[in-house]
Amino acid sequence: MARPNSDQALRIDQDRARALFDQGMATLVDVRDSADYRQSHIPGALSVPLLELPRHLAEIPRGRPIIAY
| Per-residue confidence (pLDDT) for residue 7, from 0 to 100 | 61
- Tell me the backbone φ, ψ of residue 67, rounded to 5 degrees: -110, 115
What pTM was estimated for this model as a whole?
A: 0.80
Strand-pairing partners, residue 47, are 30
- The residue among 15, 3, 10, 17 whose CA lies nearest residue 30 is 17
Report the alpha-carbon distance of residue 45 to residue 7 in Å, rounded. Answer: 24
**Using 50, 70 and 90 to split pLDDT, how confident is the model at 48?**
very high
Q: Which residue has the higher pLDDT, 3 or 33?
A: 33
Contact between residue 49 and residue 31 where contact means Cβ atoms under 8 Å apart:
yes
At 40, which amino acid appears?
A: S
